[in-house]
Chain A
């Protein structure tokens, strides 16, 4: 979809983004993850054409005179005109995206429906809640039928309900689009994205598909949580299976061994005796969060 080559942005003497290279897979959703100040927003702004790179370039595969025609963008804090109605704004955005008046009417109708703002489309944006504004932001980003959707922290400022709504919406639209979105909420990234791009201090740290990351960072271990106290059982377990290590922390026991099969085999046999009341079993460890902490280590 796009190729980013040696992308660099310098503000004064600090490099916000430094020699960034990647290319997005068409039709896939990529999460851009990194701590504050990693250069996520700067990267998104450069791809969207709002900011000129200090060095390097961005190649858009589809040939268009103005690449902004292909891009839908939702900033971290979308700002609308409070005196406009939702319908008017989406309409306005569609026409700015080079749609004719007629197309704009039908497209904005369709999108307001899709983001669930159909009932309030005649209401002034000034009275909208954060979640509604975010959904309106997605509608205005999609209304000119872009090929690439860029979202800057689309869920960070929302409450759990709003977050769920937006995530659901993104899940529905992801199949027709290439999406690049930055986020802090690693759990959400895990459920939504195909690829993960991690940045730290302006540089790319990891760029791989979610499966590859899981494979690469997988550990042969199983974590169990129980209702009753786990320590006595853990002690006897350690004595019975000296080739496995067991660690108990905060009422959780983590059992690891040389391979996941060995751990699974022995642990499940032990658990089937029914001595302890298991509440949850988690196989492997690599949540995106673990990977994040591992790669962001200085």
Chain B
């Protein structure tokens, strides 16, 4: 892992200079604020913009704070995932295409360190952004609804963070395999979608796949029993390690720099 620390610092600096450290947290924060607010003011919003006929009676029951939290995670999964993929898609392929990777890899550093530095940097950015977003949700949920149980929130967020790591790993690995950055984004989103949808459609056979993490995060906040959580975490760890290794091997073996 030679050079990991220096490369990691460089990645953080690059993210800082390209304002990723500004807009990514801001995006998660705004998603985290918007969801509780829209849930709370839904009745008013519909009254204001819904164009309901005069005298229509429209009752919207106030959701529970758990429901609000789940809905926020849903927002993170949709818009958040897209943004994470867009932010991470070029991390390897851009440097490979420009030739900057060649200038780095000719120094005495390991390919593993090179890959890992990017993984760590992307993971820190995503996790920090997520935590900021979740904090905002917690604040507004407590303000507008009921306070959320701390333990459940932490467990639920834990599962969600692992899912975010899956997102980062898939995008980075594909960035190592594919030269065209747009193709990296397309393929990553497709695979992530497949993982999530397949796990919710075929609950039983795909119980331990990474896609199940989203279900687990929901179940955790609802305080439902978490079936197969250990299996999912183990399979996911192997999955993350496995595809990262595949990416690193591909960089080392083939004519990656040509």
Q: Which residues of A contact B (CB under 8 A)?
A: 11, 45, 48-51, 66, 68-69, 71, 73, 75, 77-81, 83, 92-93, 95-98, 140, 144
Q: Which of B63-71, B104-112, B220-228, B237-245 contacts A (4 or more CB under 8 A)?
A: B104-112
B103 adjacent to A78 (CB under 8 Å): yes
Encoded as 1 (CB less than 8 Å from any A CB) or 0, chain B from 1 to 27 comes to: 011001100100010011000000000
Number of A-B contacts (CB under 8 A): 59
B59 proximal to A (CB < 8 A): no
B102 adjacent to A75 (CB under 8 Å): yes
Report chain B residues within 8 Å CB of A50: 102, 105-106, 257
A48 adjacent to B99 (CB under 8 Å): no
Task: Report the bound CA distance from A45 to B257 in whole Å.
Answer: 10
Query: Other than the known A50-B106, A68-B106, what 16 A-B pairs have Cβ atoms closer than 8 Å?
Result: A50-B257, A51-B257, A71-B106, A73-B106, A75-B99, A78-B103, A79-B98, A79-B100, A79-B102, A79-B103, A80-B100, A83-B17, A83-B18, A96-B3, A97-B107, A98-B108
A144: nearest chain-B partner, CB-CB:
B107
B255 proximal to A (CB < 8 A): yes
Instruction: List 11 interface pairs A-B (beta carbons < 8 Å), by A numbering.
Output: A11-B255, A45-B257, A51-B255, A51-B258, A80-B100, A95-B6, A96-B6, A96-B104, A96-B108, A97-B107, A97-B108
Encoded as 1 (CB less than 8 Å from any A CB) or 0, chain B from 217 to 235 comes to: 0000000000000000000
Report chain B residues within 8 Å CB of A68: 106-108
A96 adjacent to B102 (CB under 8 Å): no
The contact size tier of chain B is: 20 to 34
CB distance from B30 to the nearest CB of A (A): 26
Report chain A residues within 8 Å CB of B17: 83
Report chain B residues within 8 Å CB of A98: 2, 108
Task: Report the bound CA distance from A165 to B166 in whole Å.
Answer: 50
Task: Report the bound CA distance from A71 to B257 in whole Å.
Answer: 18
Report chain B residues within 8 Å CB of A11: 255
Determine which of B3, B10, B99 lies in contact with A77 in the assembled complex, contact meaning CB atoms within 8 Å.
B99
Determine which of B2, B3, B14, B103 lies in contact with A83 in the assembled complex, contact meaning CB atoms within 8 Å.
B14
Encoded as 1 (CB less than 8 Å from any A CB) or 0, chain B from 74 to 88 comes to: 000000000000000
A93: nearest chain-B partner, CB-CB:
B107
Task: Report the bound CA distance from A140 to B107 in whole Å.
Answer: 10
B100 adjacent to A49 (CB under 8 Å): no
Most chain A CB inside 10 Å of its own CB: which residue of B14, B99, B108: B108
B99: nearest chain-A partner, CB-CB:
A79
Task: Report the bound CA distance from A92 to B7 in whole Å.
Answer: 8
Report chain A residues within 8 Å CB of B14: 81, 83
CB distance from B140 to the nearest CB of A (A): 36
Determine which of A48, A81, A83, A95 lies in contact with B106 in the assembled complex, contact meaning CB atoms within 8 Å.
A48
Contact A96 to B107, CB < 8 A, known contacts A50-B257, A83-B14: yes
